[in-house]
Amino acid sequence: MGPCPGGVAILQAPLGPDSGPELAAAVADAGGIGLVRIPEWPAPDRVRELIWRTRSLMATPFGVAFFQASPQKENMRAAVPVLEEKVAVLQAY
């Protein structure tokens, strides 16, 4: 990741279905930190697939974000691959 303009960190908001690996990589190329939006109630294998796809596009730190809709137990399972894969940022909202 390159230096941030004016010493200010740029963090891409993971809003909407277009916040995938490609957008995270583009943000990283611009010097920021991209966040990949994890779909609601994802299977852990799908989360891991998104992480691997993102890593294939860039070599800089990135994060993942997921919405904690009810039921939260299913969403918390999505965090397991994020922790196992040691993603730099985990955002839950």
Query: Which amino acid makes up residue 49?
Result: E
The per-residue pLDDT for 4 is 57
CA-based torsion, 56, 41, 76, 29: positive or negative: positive
In this predicted structure, the answer to whether residue 53 has a pLDDT above a threshold of 90 is yes
- Residue 34, judged by CB atoms within 10 A of its CB (0-12, 13-18, 19+), counts as buried
In this predicted structure, the answer to whether residue 1 has a pLDDT above a threshold of 50 is no
The residue count of the chain comes to 93
- Using pLDDT thresholds of 50, 70 and 90, give the confidence band for residue 12: confident
E runs forming strands in the chain: 35-38, 63-66, 89-92
Using alpha carbons only, how large is the chain's radius of gyration in Å? 13
Domain ranges of the chain: 12-92
The per-residue pLDDT for 24 is 93
CA angle (27 as vertex; 2, 59 as ends), nearest 5: 60
